[in-house]
Structure 1
């Protein structure tokens, strides 16, 4: 059985060079990105266990945070072309990739979805972050992106970033809180009802939602509770089979996808083995485990 990791990261080398041309020390602000597995294809390939494939998305080196709207669009288009080529040249390990969008240029972002994602043989969706330019991803100016992606039936990969308004950000808990807030914002904005084809894959097993599902049930509306269950989530919580069982219990066995956040989390090659063991240790059927490892992704794509 081929295991498909739906949330693994790369840093396309040409894109990195373009960003370093803007600021040679740009990675000093993101020391975790100084990881050869992100940029060196040979090392990345060698780090993968046999019969494993990855849906690849870029790390959060987002052009809109550094350049104006026109240049951000150009950088995103170039990076997306590079990502698509990476997929096409390495189909045995990368069956698909995920595009990036310039969130300071929404008209161009919508064109990129049409030009580089819809009907693409390599890029199957886009990665959005919980914040963009200091605003929640559910800010009204970003809603056309959700509408467009629903219309072309392309999933969103929802990845956390820090809220820059806060002074106490840290990796253990802050990103999970930001994911939870973004999910709550998507539900509160009724996006799943406005855009019935919308598909959102949430990193880190849906963050706080599975553990506080009864608070959602009794504090929010029945419609909101149902909408929360429409998210897809990955398994990237560095193990913990009991926590993953809660995710399956809340989101449903068909909405949990194997994802690792590789190569991050557990040095030197990422947490694939630990997370795979956690799925195997879950108190669910072998058919449900197989669905998590590959079949749910295949169904999501159809």
Structure 2
């Protein structure tokens, strides 16, 4: 079986969409909330050669305002996703949504989603109410994820500051947000303190592959750690190709990432099918398309034998 495994495809369950609209969220990241259904996802997947999609909720996640409904909504979204995977086990998986920055609630939901709902991993926003991944406040959650050797999909959020007029956050700010999270994770030694966690950075890692040496030199100046070790930690992330597999970006990503650490991503439905097809033009590689993902996700390895 050679169909693509899409590690960056979003779901927008009706209950979640209604909740977002009730909270006044209509254009997260600067894009209008698109229509979504599991049937539409399957149709898109068939047209674009996607065998399996690991679904996740995009920005803004479930923590809005004071976070009153965050834990409840995370549980509802995750239970919906688990039911969808039960109905289509070879077509869908999911990254569980967690109610960060409420760390105790996030730990409780992570353990439930991974241990009871059999989630394929968790999705964490790069910053949560302005606090970036890597912050010591999140260490109790990372300890639980490390114990389970979890896959963590890092998705950008809107920057903790005003957006620039005329530049929608998804166009440029998202790339910076992911880069900030990767920088903070490496600076605070998270990949070595929690070595069993496998982090996937969305959108080719933002600016990480292209600015890695600049980032590494800065971290070296702040920490005094070995420069080659810092670069190795930056290279040790996984990277998805969502909106990134262009003839300009993909060669740089492949030159930087460790072998087997580049995974296919579509970003549908926030990326319309026209954009998905456009970037698929340059993402025709068996390791990117499916083999590296099968090596990362044990469930897919078992159900999708290598060819």
Tell me the TM-score normalized by structure 1: 0.86
Q: 1:29 and 1:159, CA in 2 relative to 1: closer, same or farther beyond 3 A?
A: closer
1-structure distance, mates of 2:177, 2:112: 30
2-structure distance, mates of 1:237, 1:209: 15
2-structure distance, mates of 1:167, 1:262: 23
Q: How does 1:160-179 map to 2 (within 5 A)?
A: 160-168=156-164, 170-179=169-178
Measure how far apart 1:148 and its partner are.
1.5
Q: 1:171 and 1:18, CA in 2 relative to 1: closer, same or farther beyond 3 A?
A: closer
1:135 aligns with 2:139: no
2-structure distance, mates of 1:119, 1:127: 17
2-structure distance, mates of 1:63, 1:48: 26
2-structure distance, mates of 1:243, 1:26: 32
Aligned residues of 1:72 and 1:104 also touching (Cα < 8 A): no
- Name 1:73's counterpart in structure 2: 71
1:250 aligns with 2:249: no
Q: How many residue pairs were aligned?
A: 285
1:45 to 42, 46, 67: 42
Gaps of 5+ in 2: 221-226, 299-307
- Name 1:273's counterpart in structure 2: 277
Q: 1:166 and 1:223, CA in 2 relative to 1: closer, same or farther beyond 3 A?
A: farther
Q: 1:18 and 1:189, CA in 2 relative to 1: closer, same or farther beyond 3 A?
A: same
Measure how far apart 1:230 and its partner are.
1.0
1:113 to 95, 110, 127: 110
2-structure distance, mates of 1:301, 1:136: 26
2-structure distance, mates of 1:49, 1:59: 22
Measure how far apart 1:84 and its partner are.
1.0
1-structure distance, mates of 2:116, 2:257: 28
Gaps of 5+ in 1: 281-288
Aligned residues of 1:261 and 1:270 also touching (Cα < 8 A): no
1:240 aligns with 2:240: no
> Greater relative contact order (Cα 8 A, min sep 6): structure 1 or 2?
2
2-structure distance, mates of 1:244, 1:48: 22
Structure whose residues are more often helix by fraction: 1
Measure how far apart 1:59 and its partner are.
2.2
Runs of 4+ in 1 over 4 A off after TM superposition: 28-31, 216-219
Q: How does 1:79-90 map to 2 (within 5 A)?
A: 79-90=77-88
1:223 aligns with 2:224: no
Q: 1:213 and 1:34, CA in 2 relative to 1: closer, same or farther beyond 3 A?
A: closer
- Name 1:190's counterpart in structure 2: 189
Q: Which moved more, 1:27-36 or 1:9-18?
A: 27-36
1:248-301 deviation line (CA, Å, top 9, x unaligned): 111123100011211223x3x253322221123xxxxxxxx2111111111112
Q: Which moved more, 1:133-142 or 1:7-16?
A: 133-142
- Name 2:301's counterpart in structure 1: none
RMSD of aligned Cα (Å): 2.2
SS in 2 for 1:200: strand
Measure how far apart 1:15 and its partner are.
2.5
2:94 to 74, 92, 97: 97
SS in 1 for 2:159: coil
1-structure distance, mates of 2:208, 2:101: 29
1-structure distance, mates of 2:110, 2:291: 26
1:80-117 deviation line (CA, Å, top 9, x unaligned): 101111222223421x1111111142112111111111
Aligned residues of 2:59 and 2:156 also touching (Cα < 8 A): no
2-structure distance, mates of 1:301, 1:42: 24
Aligned residues of 1:14 and 1:82 also touching (Cα < 8 A): no
